[in-house]
C-alpha cells in the first residue's frame, strides 16, 4: 500500500458514499482509512432504491456531521444533493437512468453487504426510479453554496461523461488523468491534494507560498524535466504551490498553450494555481524557483540549474530541510 498522511484531516470525519453495485466494504473505504490514518472514515451500504437511499444518506449526514463527504459515481450523484457540507464528487453519475440502461437484468454486488444480499435485478421500473432521482440534482439549496462542491472527472472515463453538465452549474470542475474507478494512484495524485486544500480552508491554515517558473518544469522539447513530478508532489504536502508563466499581451495563444501544458503534465493539483504575469515584483510569496536570478522578487529565489541547485533533486533536499517553514529571511 502507498504512504500515509497522518496530518491530513487529522481528527476529522469523512463520509464516503459508494458507487453502483458496491457497498461500504469496498476497497476504497479501506484505502481512504489507510491514506489518512488519523481521520475517521464512515460508510454504510446504500439501498438499491434511490428514494430510500437519499433518505438514509441524509439521515446519516445529519447524524455523523462529517467535515467532508466524498462520493464516487452513483455516490457522487447522491453526494451532490447532500447540501450543507463540503463535498467532493468523483466521476459523478448524474445520468444514472441512462447509465443503468446498459446493465439491465440480474446484477451481482461487487462487495459483500451487511444484509447478505448478493444479487439484484435492474428492471425498467428501477431505471425509471433513477431517472427521476437525478432530476433532484442541482437544487437551489446546493447551488446556493457553489464553493463547497468539487467535481473530479477522469479524462479517460469510459462510463460517465458529466463534466460539462457539472461545469454548467458549479465552478470547481476539475479533470484528472484516469478512468472511472477511484484507484490508489488517482487518490494519491489527485484526490488527496484536493482534500488538503479543503482541510486548509476549513482550518484557515495558510501555508508558505512557493512559485515555480514554468520554464523549470519543462525541457526544450516541452517534456517534463527530470524529477519535476517528484518535487512538485513533495512541495504540495507542505506548501501552497503556484505555477508562474509569462503574460505576453501580443501572443495570448501562448497562455492557452501554457495552460494546456500544465493540465497535461500536472493535472488536477495545479487547478486554479497558475498565475500569468510579467511583473514579478508585484507577487507576494515566500519562495520562487526560477531558471535565472530574480532580483525583483521580494522573497527567496532558488535558481534552478545553478551550482547550488543543478537539479530538482537538490531542490527537494533544500525544502526537506525547511520542512514546510517560511525562509529564514521572511518577517
Confidence of residue 324 (pLDDT cuts 50, 70, 90): confident
* CATH topology agreement for domains 13-203 and 209-322: yes
Helix (H) or strand (E) holding 71: strand 68-72
All structural domains of the chain with their residue ranges: 13-203, 209-322
- DSSP secondary structure letters along 157-208: -SS---HHHHHTT-S-EEEES--SS--HHHIIIIIHHHHHHHHHHHHT--PP
Q: How confident is the model at residue 181 (pLDDT cuts 50, 70, 90)?
A: very high
- The string of DSSP codes covering 214-247 is GGGTB-TTSPBPTTHHHHHHHHHTTSEEEEEE--
What's the CATH class of domain 13-203?
alpha beta
Tens digits of per-residue pLDDT, 129-154? 999 999 999 999 999 999 999 999 99
Q: Is 259 exposed, middle or buried (0-12, 13-18, 19+ CB in 10 A)?
A: middle
Q: Is CATH 3.20.20.450 correct for 209-322?
A: no
Report in angstroms the alpha-carbon separations of 217 from 66, 209, 213, 287, 314: 38, 17, 7, 16, 14
pTM of the model: 0.94
Q: Quote the pLDDT of residue 328.
A: 66
> What's the pLDDT band for 331 if we cut at 50, 70, 90?
very low
The per-residue pLDDT of the chain, averaged, comes to: 94
Amino acid at each position: 500500500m502507498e504512504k500515509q498522511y497522518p496530518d491530513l484531516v487529522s481528527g476529522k470525519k469523512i463520509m464516503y458514499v459508494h458507487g453502483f453495485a458496491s457497498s461500504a466494504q469496498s476497497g476504497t473505504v479501506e484505502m481512504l482509512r489507510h491514506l489518512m490514518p488519523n481521520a475517521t472514515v464512515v460508510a454504510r451500504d446504500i439501498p438499491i432504491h434511490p428514494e430510500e437511499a437519499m433518505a438514509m444518506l441524509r439521515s446519516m449526514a445529519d447524524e455523523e456531521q462529517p467535515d467532508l463527504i466524498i462520493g464516487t459515481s452513483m455516490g457522487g450523484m447522491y453526494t451532490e444533493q447532500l447540501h450543507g457540507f463540503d463535498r467532493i464528487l468523483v466521476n459523478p453519475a448524474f445520468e444514472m437512468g441512462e447509465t443503468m440502461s446498459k446493465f439491465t437484468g440480474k446484477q451481482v454486488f461487487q462487495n459483500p453487504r451487511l444484509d447478505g444480499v448478493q444479487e439484484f435485478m435492474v428492471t425498467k421500473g428501477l431505471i425509471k426510479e433513477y431517472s427521476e432521482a437525478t432530476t433532484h440534482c442541482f437544487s437551489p439549496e446546493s447551488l446556493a453554496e457553489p464553493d463547497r462542491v468539487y467535481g473530479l472527472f477522469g479524462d479517460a472515463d469510459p462510463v460517465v461523461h458529466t463534466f460539462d453538465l457539472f461545469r454548467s452549474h458549479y465552478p470547481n470542475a476539475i479533470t484528472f488523468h484516469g478512468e472511472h474507478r477511484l484507484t490508489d494512484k488517482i487518490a494519491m495524485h489527485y484526490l488527496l491534494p484536493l482534500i488538503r486544500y479543503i482541510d486548509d480552508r476549513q482550518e484557515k491554515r495558510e501555508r508558505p507560498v512557493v512559485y515555480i517558473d514554468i520554464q523549470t518544469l519543462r525541457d526544450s522539447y516541452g517534456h517534463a524535466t527530470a524529477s519535476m513530478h517528484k518535487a512538485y508532489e513533495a512541495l504540495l504536502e507542505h506548501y501552497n504551490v503556484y505555477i508562474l508563466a509569462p503574460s505576453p499581451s501580443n501572443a495570448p495563444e501562448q497562455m492557452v498553450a501554457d495552460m494546456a501544458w500544465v493540465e497535461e503534465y500536472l493535472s488536477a493539483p495545479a487547478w486554479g494555481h497558475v498565475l500569468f504575469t510579467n511583473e514579478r515584483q508585484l507577487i507576494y510569496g515566500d519562495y520562487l524557483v526560477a531558471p535565472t536570478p530574480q532580483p525583483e522578487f521580494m522573497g527567496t529565489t532558488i535558481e534552478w540549474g545553478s551550482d547550488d541547485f543543478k537539479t530538482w533533486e537538490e531542490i527537494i533536499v533544500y525544502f526537506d530541510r525547511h520542512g514546510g517553514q517560511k525562509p529564514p529571511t521572511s518577517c
